[in-house]
Structure 1
Amino acid sequence: MIQYQYDNKNIIKKRAYITQEFMKLSPNIKSKRIKEISPEDIKILFELYDKVFLNKHLENNFPGNFKFSLSKRMTRSAGLTLCPKNIGERKPEEVIIEIRIGVNFFFQYHLLERDKKVCEIQSHHALEALQLVLEHEICHVIEFIYFHQSSCKGNQFKTIARNLFGHTSSYHELPSNREIAKEKFNLHIGDKITFDFEEKILEGMIYAINKRATVMVPDKKGQYADKEGNKYNKYYVPVGKIKKCEIKG
């Protein structure tokens, strides 16, 4: 079991060192603002953490493999660690643990000016936010390897996260798509809006906001119906291409 424990000053120093080293090694990220990213970037960052915080413990003691992936569909969790449910029944060298990163949180990090904490630590730029998310996932990796299950609500996880990285929470406060739509574009669920579609201007209502806004447009031949029997078609529209209807009267 990994027994490393660092004080806050040492953690900050190690994290800052990784920031600088990563920008030298990454094929896509050369500044603290993230515009492009690949699974290879996450692999490089993970290996730096293993080296700097864990003295290559994972490289030297885990015979299985790590996989790194990106998702644009993750709208709540900024990171996710996936592990076979039967990890304890498999040969260690056959185990694959996957770390998946929700990239939109980091692409749109700069769109709002406010505090952006991750695991109760104030992040100062998108790269630092990514590091803090990966730190959280590394704690899951450690639990999966040594205990074959992991929960960030458990005391064991909280101890690992606090000792290694100074985390005192398992949540992030990074800008969400819904918050950006509200603060930057003044768009809310239920708003009546218009948008261009195939050289036509359609009018509808915002039903949901994720990566794009889900807009329901009235249509007598529509595939969707409400409780009153009104029919609609569904459109997925980038929030930047939406215009709110003027309030008359």
Structure 2
Amino acid sequence: MTHRQTRTRNRPRPSTGQPRAASAGVLPGRPSPRDPAVLSRLAGEVAIRTFPARQRDQWRRQIYEQMLVTSRCINGPNFQKVAADDVARMIRMYDDRFFEGRILSAASAEGISFHLSSRMTSVGGKLVTQYPEGSYDGRRQFELVLSSTLLFQTFEDVSRPIEVAGCLCHDRLEAMQRIAEHEFVHLIEMLIWNDGNCSEARYQSIANRYFGHTDYQHNLITQRERAAVRFNIRVGDDVVFFHDGHRMQGRVNRITRRATVLVPNPAGQKFSDGKRYSRYYVPLERLQKR
């Protein structure tokens, strides 16, 4: 599946072309928001720098091992808990090794946060860029988000080889690293060039030279695949389930964290087939195929 970037922003205001005043509260030693000199130096470096595979793999392994030691939640390669602090810690480790801490320093001057989402059921991660001042040339706020749902569904109850960004992953922590690397490259592009797309040459060049990525997609275990493999349930199947003690019959319309089942109901919502249904959101394990 395609690993996508999501960007949101307010409607831009035309740039006045006037110099922007330095933002109050910028810490000593930290660059000003969107400092042209800082971003220009980063652009020149990111465009050409290459790491030997041995050095790259050594740093990635160091990050893997340090996450196991320093995290309060990640207690093993196939951890059962993870926190937003773990995402921030992992990205910081990458920045310290590959960029001497300069990417997050520049991003923090504008605003950056890290999150986990249980609602992302098809993409492994996303970078959201917002423009709170309403200007495309103004200060930005970055949000780097990883999908906890896909992480926990992978290396769980469906067994097959897992690849992220063209890299074979042996456990959940390695998969988390590859997704974090992918989103970190999105952050780098947006920070420096205010634009980016993982299907284009510049992104893929950076991801390959820094992290050895050979693809921009992942094949993590989605809930739809899990439904088919574990429960033999697919979109369009007729199913039976119990709700408040009543036996219900319907058809699977969608599969995300739960299955959306449409049950015929004369008083329900009218759908495109001209019939009326009530929606039920049912855990997969409660469905029986008719």
- The alignment's TM-score, normalised by the length of structure 2, stands at 0.78
Which of residues 88, 102, 110 in structure 2 aligns to 1:43? Answer: 88
Whether 1:134 aligns to 2:180 is yes
Q: In the alignment, which of 42, 62, 70 is matched to residue 25 of structure 1?
A: 70
Name the stretch that deviates more: 35-44 or 157-166.
35-44
1:184 is aligned to 2:214: no
Asked if residue 147 in structure 1 is aligned to residue 170 in structure 2, the reply is no
User: What are the equivalent positions in structure 2 for 1:65-104 lying under 5 Å apart?
Assistant: 65-84=111-130, 89-90=137-138, 94-104=139-149
Report Cα offsets for 1:104-128 as digits up to 9, x if no partner.
1111112221111000100111111
Structure 2 segments unaligned to the other structure (5+ residues): 1-41
Residue of structure 2 in register with 1:55 after alignment: 100
Distance 2:244 2:218 in 1: 38
CA distance in 2, matches of 1:190, 1:139: 38
Q: Look up the SS of the partner of 1:157 in the other structure.
A: helix
State how far apart, in whole Å, the 2-side matches of 1:148 and 1:226 are: 40
* Equivalent of 1:125 in 171, 178, 202: 171
- The residue type paired with residue 155 of structure 1 is A
- Over the aligned positions, Cα root-mean-square deviation in angstroms equals 1.7
**1:161 maps to amino acid:** A
Letter in 1 for 2:279: K
Deviations 1:56-108 (A, max 9, x none): 12244442222112222212211101113577622xxx432110111111111
Contact 2:110 2:140 in 1 (8 A): yes
Counterparts in 2 of 1:222 and 1:59: CA distance versus 1, 3 Å: closer
TM-score (norm 1): 0.90
SS of residue in 2 equivalent to 1:181: helix
The question of whether the paired residues in 2 share the 8 Å contact of 1:87 and 1:148 is answered with no
Aligned to 2:36: none
Name the SS of the counterpart of 1:222 in structure 2. strand
Q: Offset of 1:7 from its aligned partner?
A: 2.4
Q: Does 1:243 align with 2:288?
A: yes
| AA at the equivalent of 2:175 | A
- Assess if the C-alpha contact under 8 Å between 1:120 and 1:169 holds in 2: yes
Q: Does 1:168 align with 2:214?
A: yes
Which secondary structure state, in structure 2, belongs to the residue aligned with residue 220 of structure 1?
strand
**Which amino acid letter does the alignment assign opposite residue 258 of structure 2?**
R
Q: Is 2:247 the counterpart of 1:194?
A: no
Residue 114 of structure 1 aligns to a residue whose secondary structure is coil
Alignment length (residue pairs): 241
Q: Distance in 2 between matches of 1:26 and 1:198?
A: 42
Percentage of matched positions with identical amino acids: 27
1:6 corresponds to: 51
